[in-house]
Structure formats: C-alpha cells, structure tokens
Amino acid sequence: MTKKGVVLVLFWFLSLISLSCAATLSVSRQKIQVRNHLNRLNKPPVKTIQSPDGDIIDCVHMSHQPAFDHPFLKDHKVQMRPSYHPEGLFDENKVSDTDTEKPKQRSNSITQLWHTNGKCPQGTIPIRRTKEEDVLRASSVKRYGKKKHRAIPQPRSADPDLTNESGHQHAIAYVEGDKYYGAKATINVWEPKIQQPNEFSLSQLWILGGSFGEDLNSIEAGWQVSPDLYGDNNTRLFTYWTSDAYQATGCYNLLCSGFIQINSEIAMGASISPVSAYRNSQYDISILVWKDPKEGHWWMQFGNDYVLGYWPSFLFSYLADSASMIEWGGEVVNSEPDGHHTSTQMGSGRFPEEGFGKSSYFRNIQVVDDSNNLKAPKGLGTFTEQSNCYDVQTGSNGDWGHYFYYGGPGKNPNCP
C-alpha cells in the first residue's frame, strides 16, 4: 500500500473512532439528562403503591411536591381549602326516573385503578412515578410532559388551514365575549382506540385567556388516552396549563412546577376505572375549575368530594384576572398515517346522532360569572374542523341542563 493509501486508511479509521466516541458521548449525555430529570420529578416517597396497570404511585409529603421547585413558591404557604366555592354548586336537580333517554342514576361511581392496592396517608399526595422509558418516548427531555405548540381549537379563525396545521382536530362547544371565572362539566368516560402511538384522544374543558398567538393562557382538565405520554392505552385523568401558548411554560399533571395539589386520594395522570361501554353501563366524571374570588388562585374539583388543589394566579398573565373564552369537548391528533385520515377515535368513536349509551357526552355544562355563581352558558357555539370525521350536537333539558354529544370514528367512507 502506498504512503497516501496508508494515510487515507488511517484517516478513515480515526474518523470512525471519532464518530463512535461522539455517539457514545451523546448517549451518555442523554442518559445523564434523563436521570437528572427523573430525580427532579420523582420525589422521595413516604409510601409506594403498585397499581394493577403497572403504574407506581408514590405518596409524597405535600411540602415536597414538584410545585415547590418553582422559585416563586419557595416560601409559599399552602392554601388547604378554597376561600369560596361557586354558588349553586350543589343545586343540581336529581335525575327523573321517568326520563327514558338518560341514565337512571346521576352517575355510576368511578375510582382510580391504584385504589385497589392501597391509599396514601394524610399529609401526602399521590404522584404517578415517571419512568425512564416515559421520558425517552418524548422528542427531548425538555419537551417531556408538554403539548405541541398550537394545539388549541380556534373557532374564530378565518383560515381553515391554520386550525389543522398541527394535525390536531376538535369537536367542541364554546362561549366567548364575556369575563369568565370558571367552568364545570360532567364528562362521559370512554376508552377510545388510538391508531398510532404518537396520537392521542382526549375530552376536556379549556379555560382560556389572551390571544391565540404567543401569549395564550390555558387551564385544562379532563380525561385522555395517550400512548406517547403514558406508555399504554388506558383512560387517565389529566390537567394541563400554559401561559405562553404551549411554548416554554406549563405541562401535564405534576410534570413541572405549577399546580399545587392538596388531595391525598386522586393522582393526576392515573387510570380511571371503570369506563363506559357501548349499549352498556355509562360512567362519567365531574370537573369544576374556578377562580377563588379572595386569593385569586384557580382551583380544581373532581367529582363532588375531591378538591384537588390549585394553580397559583402568578403563573398567568391574562388568567390572573379572568378568562375570555371557555371550551368543552374532544381533541385528537391526526398524523395522517399512509396519507389517510387517522382511525383514532374521539369520545366513544361514534357520531353524536347515535345518542345515549352509544355516543359520548358532556352534560350540565356551566360557567362561573363575576359574582362567583355557576350559570348556564349564554350563546353556546360549536366548532369542528371536519364534521364528517368528528362532530358535535348541542341540546338542553331539565336534567342535563346544557349538554352535547360529540365524537366520531375518524377515518370512514366520508372521511378518507
């Protein structure tokens, strides 16, 4: 071999070693990043509960929860109860036994799966433990537990391309044009089928302030199926918040500093059980989010019995005052696998016209006004990007107040 040939072989060999070292360093750096992030999220537990679905629930002392990693919360005194509940919260009518179209009971009881194996002591809160594989499924450690930018339904948008730019599709009811201080709904719980692991299906309420640009404030709560976030297809309770349109601030559940939990019985991100079945038992959950008129924090209540905690008002700009829009409904990610619409289901996977026991519903939807009263929504609008894929239909009666059926199968002959 010539001298030149030897040099080239040597150069090629050194390049391979260099690339190999760089790749090893990159993997090592990522492992360190992931480990550090897990150490930040997973606080030392007082007790650990193994859930039947594979989750580990850590009972963490209330004062050690992730919220208190926030610099503004270092000396925060936890508020153990809201100063005020909204007026009219416990005034809902009992369901009439003569109403054949609606369930005979107000709701079948729903719990979280981990409850079958134990409960957390008083003074602690249950936190779903984040595992290494959870973080590795995210596009980066920094983006773990965050929604993608522009994931919000924009009913007012004049440009239909803008609303589907992110591949997110919605079927929602909404109100706007006033000042809102909270929202409530009872949401039918299902386990929709997800076609691709990077897609999700959720049903939630949105409390929104600001514009749909870079400064949107949002508080969100409901149920979701998200293989990417949780590593399975279980239906789970979730919350979300952002103060800058999903860019740098906010996260799901307790996956960053923000929401302060005070409840020892309900775990954010844990599986809900049981779920509704087609032409069978129907299950629903009630969610209320409202602004405490005295302290200004945004509180969340799950069902009639569980006040979960609050988002401190300083997290937000517009929502520090009030919300300008409330939305209720479903959202899915349509990644258009193979160039076709996804077959990821929204709600029950059935269209609204099929009605009770078949399609999914929101009932007793209300807003909180500036006098801290729960009121029926005025001027309820609806919005969906493609009604032949997912749709929404509103109605009202004595038992369910303002309600709507929503959802659909995604891909079908009219939605190719």
Active site residues: 220, 331
End-to-end CA distance of the chain: 62
CB atoms inside a 10 Å sphere around CB 305: 9
344 phi and psi angles, rounded to 5 deg = -60, 130
Beta strand 298-302 with 111-112 is unpaired
Considering only CA atoms, which of 251, 224, 248 is closest in space to residue 311? 251
263-302 core/surface letters (b: 16 or more CB in 10 A; e: else):
bbebbbbbbbbebbeeeeebbbbbbbbbbbeeebbbbbbb
Distance, in Å, from the CA atom of 192 to the CA atom of 406, rounded to the nearest integer, reads 13
Distance, in Å, from the CA atom of 379 to the CA atom of 19, rounded to the nearest integer, reads 62
User: How is residue 386 written in tokens?
Assistant: 């493609």
DSSP string, 333-368: E---GGGS-----BTTSS-GGG-TTTSEEEEEEEEE
